[in-house]
Structure 1
Amino acid sequence: MIQIAVVTGASSGIGAATARRLAAEGFHVLAAARRPDRLTELVDGIRAAGGSATAVVCDVTSDESVAALAAEAVSLPGPVTLLVNNAGGARGLDPVESGSVDDWQWMYDVNVLGTLRVTQALLPALEESGAGTIVVISSTAGFTVYEGGGGYTAAKHAQTAMAGTLRLELCGRPVRVIEIDPGMVQTDEFSLVRFGGDAERAAAVYEGVAEPLLAEDIADCVAWCATRPHHVNVDRLVVRPLAQAAQHKVHRVR
Structure 2
Amino acid sequence: MSTTTAIRTAVVTGASSGIGAATARQLAAAGYHVVLTARRKDRIEALAAEITAAGHSAAVHALDVTDRAAVDAFAASLDRYPSVDVLVNNAGGALGVDPVATGDPADWRTMYETNVIGTLNVTQALLPAITASGDGTVVVLSSTAGHATYEGGAGYVAAKNGARVLAETLRLELVGRPVRVIEIAPGLVKTEEFATTRFRGDTERAAKVYEGVAAPLTADDVAETVTWAVTRPSHVNIDLLVVRPRAQASNTKLHREL
Scaled to the shorter chain, the TM-score interval is: over 0.9
Cα distance, 1:69 vs. partner? 1.8
Kept in 2, the 8 Å contact 1:30–1:73? The answer is: no
Q: Does 1:7 align with 2:17?
A: no
Give the aligned residue type for 1:54. A
Cα distance, 1:17 vs. partner? 0.2
Aligned positions of 1:20-31 closer than 5 A: 20-31=25-36
TM-score (norm 1): 0.99
2:112 to 99, 108, 113: 108
**Cα shift readout 1:25-76 (whole Å, capped 9, x = no counterpart):** 0000000000011011100000011110000000000011111221222222
Distance in 1 separating the partners of 2:74 and 2:251: 35
Distance in 2 separating the partners of 1:171 and 1:124: 15
| SS of aligned partner of 1:31 | strand
| SS of aligned partner of 2:112 | helix
| SS of aligned partner of 1:238 | strand
Distance in 2 separating the partners of 1:75 and 1:188: 34
Aligned positions of 1:61-140 closer than 5 A: 61-76=66-81, 78-140=82-144
Give the aligned residue type for 1:73. L
Q: Does 1:54 align with 2:59?
A: yes
- Runs of 4+ in structure 1 deviating by more than 3 angstroms, as ranges, are none
Give the aligned residue type for 2:119. T
| SS of aligned partner of 1:106 | helix
Structure 2 gap segments, 5+ residues each? 1-5
Which position in structure 2 is the counterpart of 1:45?
50
Q: Does 1:248 align with 2:252?
A: yes
Give the aligned residue type for 1:87. A
1:153 to 145, 157, 162: 157
Which position in structure 2 is the counterpart of 1:32?
37
Q: Percent identity among equivalent residues?
A: 61
**Cα shift readout 1:213-247 (whole Å, capped 9, x = no counterpart):** 00000110111000001110000000000010111
**Cα shift readout 1:130-180 (whole Å, capped 9, x = no counterpart):** 000000000000110000001000000111011000000001111110000
Distance in 1 separating the partners of 2:13 and 2:140: 10
TM-score (norm 2): 0.97
Which position in structure 1 is the counterpart of 2:3?
none
| SS of aligned partner of 1:126 | helix
**Cα shift readout 1:186-231 (whole Å, capped 9, x = no counterpart):** 0000001100000000000000000000000011011100000111
Aligned positions of 1:195-234 closer than 5 A: 195-234=199-238
Distance in 1 separating the partners of 2:79 and 2:28: 18
Give the aligned residue type for 2:179. V
What is the aligned-residue RMSD (CA, Å)? 0.6
Which position in structure 2 is the counterpart of 1:239?
243
Give the aligned residue type for 1:226. V
Give the aligned residue type for 1:61. T
